[in-house]
C-alpha cells in the first residue's frame, strides 16, 4: 500500500500543475477527466493522512500504557488504543476501496428495472417495496428519480416499474443490486399465517449518453397504441403509448406513463439505449480475458443475491455472507452498510486479480 501511495503522491503533484494551467479548460472533456482524477487522488491522500495520524496516535497510547504507573491513566490509554485500532481498520478498508482503479461507468446515471417474479400478488407488492426502498435511498443521497414506465396492480403493487436515478456516483453505489431479491413473509391475504416465498428481479443499467450508443432510424420499428391502467382499464383515449422495437437485437421497450406520445417515445428510447449499452459492455467484458467479472460485480439478473425475511427481521446478502437484523430500516432506505460491504468485497477481489 505504501508503494502505491508514493506513486499517487507523485501523480497528485502532476495534477496540481495541470489544474493550475489556464489552458486546461480549452478542452472541456479533458478538463473534466483531469478534475475527476484530481478529486480521486485528493480523497486517497486525505484518507492516508488520517490513517497515518491514527497510527501515530495509537503508537503514543501504546507507549503510555507501557510506561505509566498510574492505573487510571493506563486504562485510559488502553481504551484509546482500542478506539484507534477500530478507526485504523475502517480507514485501511476505505483506502483499499479508493486504490482500486475506478470503473469508467461509475459516474453514470442509471435506469433501474424492478419486476415481480414468482409469487403473484405478493411478488408485485414486494416489487413496490423495493422501488420505495431505492427511492428513499436516492432521496437521502440527494439524487433525482423519475418513473419511465410502470405496470401497477389493483392492490398497490407493481408487475413492473422502470425509472431513472440521476446524481453523483449513482452507478457505483447501486450496480451490485442487479439480481433476484427473495422475500419471505406472511402475505396480508393469507388467513392461515403461513410464510410465503416470492421473488423480484432487479436490473441496474448505466444510462447511455448520446456518444455511447448510435441507433439508426432504419433499425427501429415504432408502434403506437392506447395506454391502459391496472386491470386493463383505459386511461387515455388517444394513441399516446409507444412501443419501440430494435430490429437488429429484437429488444422491445414500451412506455405509456406520459399523456404525450412524444414524451413516451423519448423515455422508451432512453431505456432502449441503456439496454443496448449494457449489451455492449457485457460483450466487452467477456472479450477481455484478463478482466474476469467478480462474483459480486457480475450483475447476473438470474442470480439470487439477497433474502428479506420478515418474521426474523433479517436481510441476508448471499454473495458476501452479510446478515443484518434490521430489515425494516433497510426497507426505509438505510442501505449504506449493505452497499459499503459490497464495495469493499468487490475492491478486495479486484486487488487480488
Question: Of 26-40, 49-63, 159-173, 278-292, which gets the smallest average pLDDT?
Answer: 278-292
Residue 232: CB partners within 8 Å, gap ≥ 6? none
249-293 pLDDT, tens digit each = 999 999 988 888 999 999 999 999 999 998 888 777 666 544 444
Question: Of 94-98, 147-151, 268-272, 323-327, which gets the smallest average pLDDT?
Answer: 94-98
What is the arithmetic mean of pLDDT over 37-53? 94
Cross-strand partners of 197:
184
Nearest CA to 147 among 311, 60, 239, 264? 264
pTM (two decimals) = 0.72
Q: In what order do the strands lie in the sheet with 241-246?
A: 220-225, 241-246, 251-255
What is the arithmetic mean of pLDDT over 327-333? 96
In the chain the domains, ranked by start, together with CATH numbers, are 2-99 (1.20.58), 110-209+291-352 (3.30.70.1660), 217-287 (3.30.160.20)
Q: How high is the pLDDT of residue 236?
A: 52
- Percent over 90 (pLDDT), the chain: 62
Average pLDDT, the chain: 88
Q: Over 80: is that where the pLDDT of 150 sits?
A: yes
Q: How high is the pLDDT of residue 287?
A: 61
User: Are the C-beta atoms of 204 and 110 separated by less than 8 Å?
Assistant: yes
* Integer Cα distance of 321 and 317 in angstroms: 6
Cross-strand partners of 182:
199, 307
Q: Over 80: is that where the pLDDT of 2 sits?
A: yes
> To 10 degrees, what angle do helices 2-20 and 28-67 make?
140
Give the residue with greater pLDDT, 104 vs 304. 304
Most confident of 149-153, 235-239, 326-330: 326-330
What is the arithmetic mean of pLDDT over 168-173? 92
Q: How high is the pLDDT of residue 231?
A: 46
Q: Over 80: is that where the pLDDT of 70 sits?
A: yes
Give the residue with greater pLDDT, 326 vs 294. 326
Q: How confident is the model at residue 42 (pLDDT cuts 50, 70, 90)?
A: very high
Nearest CA to 122 among 19, 198, 207, 203? 198
What is the arithmetic mean of pLDDT over 90-112? 87
Buried b / exposed e along 282-294 (16+ C-beta atoms within 10 A): eeeeeeeeeeeeb
Q: How high is the pLDDT of residue 69?
A: 85
Q: How confident is the model at residue 229 (pLDDT cuts 50, 70, 90)?
A: low
Here the cell at position 118 is 414468482
188-219 pLDDT, tens digit each = 766 667 889 999 999 999 998 877 888 889 99
Residue 310: CB partners within 8 Å, gap ≥ 6? 183, 184, 185, 186, 327
Amino acid at each position: 500500500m505504501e508503494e502505491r501511495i508514493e506513486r499517487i503522491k507523485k501523480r497528485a503533484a502532476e495534477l496540481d500543475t495541470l489544474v493550475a494551467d489556464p489552458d486546461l479548460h480549452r478542452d472541456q472533456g479533458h478538463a473534466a477527466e483531469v478534475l475527476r482524477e484530481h478529486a480521486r487522488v485528493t480523497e486517497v491522500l486525505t484518507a492516508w493522512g488520517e490513517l497515518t495520524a491514527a497510527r501515530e496516535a495509537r503508537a503514543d497510547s501504546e507507549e503510555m500504557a507501557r510506561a505509566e504507573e498510574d492505573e487510571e491513566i493506563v486504562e485510559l490509554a488502553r481504551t484509546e488504543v482500542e478506539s484507534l485500532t477500530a478507526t485504523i481498520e475502517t480507514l485501511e478498508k476505505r483506502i483499499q476501496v479508493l486504490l482500486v482503479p475506478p470503473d469508467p461507468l461509475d459516474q453514470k446515471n442509471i435506469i433501474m428495472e424492478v419486476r415481480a417474479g414468482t409469487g403473484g400478488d405478493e411478488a408485485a407488492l414486494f416489487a413496490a417495496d423495493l422501488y420505495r426502498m431505492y427511492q428513499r435511498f436516492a432521496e437521502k443521497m440527494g439524487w433525482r428519480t423519475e418513473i419511465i414506465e410502470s405496470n401497477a396492480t389493483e392492490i398497490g403493487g407493481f408487475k413492473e416499474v422502470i425509472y431513472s436515478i440521476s446524481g453523483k456516483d449513482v452507478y457505483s453505489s447501486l450496480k451490485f443490486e442487479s439480481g433476484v431479491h427473495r422475500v419471505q413473509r406472511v402475505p396480508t391475504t393469507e388467513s392461515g399465517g403461513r410464510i410465503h416465498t416470492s421473488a423480484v428481479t432487479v436490473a441496474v443499467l448505466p444510462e447511455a449518453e448520446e456518444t455511447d450508443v448510435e441507433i439508426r432510424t432504419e433499425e427501429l420499428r415504432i408502434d403506437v397504441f392506447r395506454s391502459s391502467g391496472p386491470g386493463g382499464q383505459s386511461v387515455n383515449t388517444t394513441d399516446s403509448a409507444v412501443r419501440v422495437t430494435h430490429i437488429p437485437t429484437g429488444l422491445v421497450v414500451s412506455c405509456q406513463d406520459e399523456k404525450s406520445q412524444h414524451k413516451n417515445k423519448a423515455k422508451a428510447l432512453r431505456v432502449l439505449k441503456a439496454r443496448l449499452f449494457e449489451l455492449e459492455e457485457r460483450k466487452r467484458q467477456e472479450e477481455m480475458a484478463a478482466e474476469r467479472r467478480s462474483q459480486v460485480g457480475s450483475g447476473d439478473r438470474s442470480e439470487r443475491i439477497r433474502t428479506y425475511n420478515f418474521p426474523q427481521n433479517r436481510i441476508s446478502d448471499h454473495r458476501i455472507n452479510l446478515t443484518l437484523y434490521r430489515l425494516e430500516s433497510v426497507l426505509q432506505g438505510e442501505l449504506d452498510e449493505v452497499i459499503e460491504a459490497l464495495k469493499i468485497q468487490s475492491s478486495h477481489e479486484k486487488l487480488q486479480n
